[in-house]
Amino acid sequence: MSDHELRVSKIRNGTVIDHVAAGQALNVLAILGIDGSAGEGVSIGMNVPSDRLGRKDIVKVEDRELSQSEVEVLSLIAPEASINIIRDYDVVEKSRVDRPESVVGLLSCPNRNCITNDDEPIASKFTVVDDGVRCTYCENIVRDDIADHLDVQT
Amino acid sequence: MRQDHLISAANLSREGIEAVLDRAAAIDADPAAYRQRHAGAVLALCFFEPSTRTKMSFDTAMKRLGGTTVDMGTVESSSVKKGETLADTVRVVEGYADAIVLRHPSEGAAKMASEFVDVPLVNAGDGAGQHPSQTLLDLYTIRERAGLDDLSVGIMGDLKYGRTVHSLAHALTNFDVRQHFISPESLRLPRNVRFDLHESGAQVREHTELDAVLPELDVLYVTRIQRERFPDENEYRAIAGEYRIDEETLAAARDDLSVMHPLPRVDEIAPEVDETEYATYFQQAHNGIPVRMALLDGLLTRAKGGKR
């Protein structure tokens, strides 16, 4: 066990999201809708040393296993992340995130003149392009700081 | 959701474009043959922004096909003023009309509206987004003057916010056209349009000065640099003056150059150009009628289940 893994305690059951880009841990929790109000145990390591990333964040959520759709949206802000499902302290499943084809209702369009920012009965919809996402309505492309446009509170 | 709307020029194929232009040419040659083609049909004109040319040309086109139009009037006099959503407006209007023409100040408005209606919907301009029916008449005009392949087309002015430019750039990728974009650095093409041009493999070059490329152009498409985009009036004047076309500018152009403009112009093309062989913009505006007749004819015929 390396030093940085000791910074946050092991969990018995749940999910460990590893290799999150440094500084994105709180956005990962926002995407998952986790704010502690449901009583789940959450451990966060931020800016811990990483051989692969230099610095990384790590998120451990007790008693919750991520769904495929949750893993997909994670890929938008943490494309290098790995997902470890833990049962009785053992890793029973380990996977990398896959980028989805589209995300609906998750991001707000940064183009203030986009119809999705008017008071219309539609959800935002973005298609995922090579290195970003693209609004299906105004066709604006978001490449940098995607997490800034999350339609959830951090 | 039906698919037979005209929302973005990015969705136009070469075959689709040529079908509309061929039909427009047939209408131009024999307008009387189309006079009662859509008798009894109703076209709704929903313009959430002021418009003269586009609105009048759709109105005229529908009437010349034998149909009628209903006009929602100005935003100030409509239920929009009471806070009605666009989604509700088009769902109500769908019950009144066989097709809808929509202009709206928000980008993506036509795309969204098309998801709520089953009648054909035409995007007549959505903010700084797209204006595909203008592009069809632009292409018709270019084809009349120079054909649509092996061309050098210069597009100059406000490329960032100019919806006619965005649509034209997308549509030209269907043809063998070298596209030259001439603008101040601050008004260059938006990232999403450059992305699409790159993805399509289009031959594209960007310039800040017209001089470098003018002699090789077959078409120079001029657009207005909008004063409201500049916080400083002096900065606007300095830039706008650099992108003004007059007879002296055109001395370096080929004799068969076509100067086009979606209109209205302010002072980006000097009146003295009007009397030259270069001036194509008024013919371009006139072409709006047969092209929009052809577009509406296709949409209404297919909506009735008929063949074009």
Q: Which residue has tokens 């594209």? A: B204
pLDDT at A106: 81
pLDDT at A1: 47
pLDDT at B163: 96
pLDDT exceeds 70 at position B181: yes
pLDDT exceeds 80 at position B36: yes
- Which ipTM was obtained for this model? 0.92
Closest CA–CA distance from residue A142 to any residue of chain B (Å) = 9
Q: pTM here?
A: 0.88
Closest CA–CA distance from residue A119 to any residue of chain B (Å) = 7
Bigger pLDDT: B289 or B227?
B289
Bigger pLDDT: B97 or A52?
B97
Tell me if residue B43 falls in helix, strand or coil: strand
Q: Give B16-28 pLDDT, tens digit per residue.
A: 999 999 999 999 9
pLDDT at A76: 82
Q: Give B54-90 pLDDT, tens digit per residue.
A: 999 999 999 999 999 999 987 777 767 678 999 999 9
pLDDT at B14: 97
Tell me if residue A94 falls in helix, strand or coil: strand
- Does the beta-carbon distance from B109 to A115 stay under 8 Å? yes
pLDDT exceeds 80 at position B208: yes
pLDDT exceeds 60 at position B308: no
pLDDT exceeds 80 at position B3: no
Could you tell me which chain B residue has the CA closest to the CA of A119? B85
The answer to whether B107 faces chain A, any CB pair under 8 Å, is yes
Nearest CB among A113, A119, A120 relative to B112 is that of: A120
- Name the token pair of B121: 């919907």
- Does the beta-carbon distance from A140 to B107 stay under 8 Å? yes
Query: Which residues in B166-191 are b (16+ Cβ under 10 Å) and which e?
Result: bbbbbbbbbbebbbbbbbbeebbbbe
- Does the beta-carbon distance from A141 to B105 stay under 8 Å? no
Q: Give B224-239 pLDDT, tens digit per residue.
A: 998 877 778 888 888 8
% residues pLDDT > 90 (chain B): 86
Bigger pLDDT: B164 or B212?
B164
- Does the beta-carbon distance from A138 to B127 stay under 8 Å? yes
pLDDT at B235: 82
pLDDT at A153: 41
Q: Which of B23, B38, B131, B224 is catalytic?
A: B131
Q: Give A97-153 pLDDT, tens digit per residue.
A: 888 889 888 889 999 999 999 999 999 999 998 878 999 999 999 987 777 776 654
- Does the beta-carbon distance from A139 to B192 stay under 8 Å? yes
Lowest mean pLDDT among A24-28, B74-78, B153-157: B74-78
* CA angle, residues B147, B163, B233, in degrees to nearest 5: 120
pLDDT at B70: 97
pLDDT at A2: 52
Q: Give A125-134 pLDDT, tens digit per residue.
A: 999 988 789 9
Could you tell me which chain B residue has the CA closest to the CA of A131? B195
Sign of CA dihedral A63, A69, A70, A75: positive
- Does the beta-carbon distance from A113 to B115 stay under 8 Å? no
B81 given a catalytic annotation? no
Q: CA-CA distance, B107 to B95, in Å (whole number)?
A: 25
B53 given a catalytic annotation? yes
Q: CA-CA distance, B291 to B65, in Å (whole number)?
A: 12
Closest CA–CA distance from residue B100 to any residue of chain A (Å) = 18
Q: Say if residue B68 is exposed, middle or buried (CB neighbours under 10 Å; 0-12, 13-18, 19+).
A: middle
Q: Give A33-58 pLDDT, tens digit per residue.
A: 888 788 888 999 999 998 888 999 99
Q: Which of B14, B53, B81, B308 is catalytic?
A: B53
Taking chain B, what is the end-to-end CA distance rounded to the nearest angstrom? 21
B38 given a catalytic annotation? no
Mean pLDDT value across residues B207-211: 95
Chain A residues whose CB is inside 8 A of the B111 CB are 115, 136-137
**DSSP labels for B177-237?**
EEEEEE--GGGPPPHHHHHHHHHHT-EEEEES-STTTGGG-SEEEE-PPPGGG-SSHHHHH
List residues bridging with B102 in a β-sheet. B46, B123
pLDDT at A75: 84
B84, B104, B111, B170: which to substitute to probe chain A, counting the most A Cβ within 10 Å?
Answer: B111
Q: CA-CA distance, B292 to A61, in Å (whole number)?
A: 59
Could you tell me which chain A residue has the CA closest to the CA of B126? A138
Instruction: Tell me the residue ranges of DSSP E strands in chain B.
Output: 42-47, 68-71, 99-104, 121-126, 151-156, 177-182, 203-207, 219-222, 258-260
Q: CA-CA distance, B107 to A141, in Å (whole number)?
A: 13
Nearest CB among B106, B115, B192 relative to A118 is that of: B106
- Does the beta-carbon distance from A134 to B109 stay under 8 Å? no
**DSSP labels for A5-61?**
GGGS---SSEEEEEEEETT-HHHHHHHHT--STT---EEEEEEEEETTTEEEEEEEE
Bigger pLDDT: A2 or A14?
A14
pLDDT at A59: 94
Chain A residues whose CB is inside 8 A of the B127 CB are 113, 138
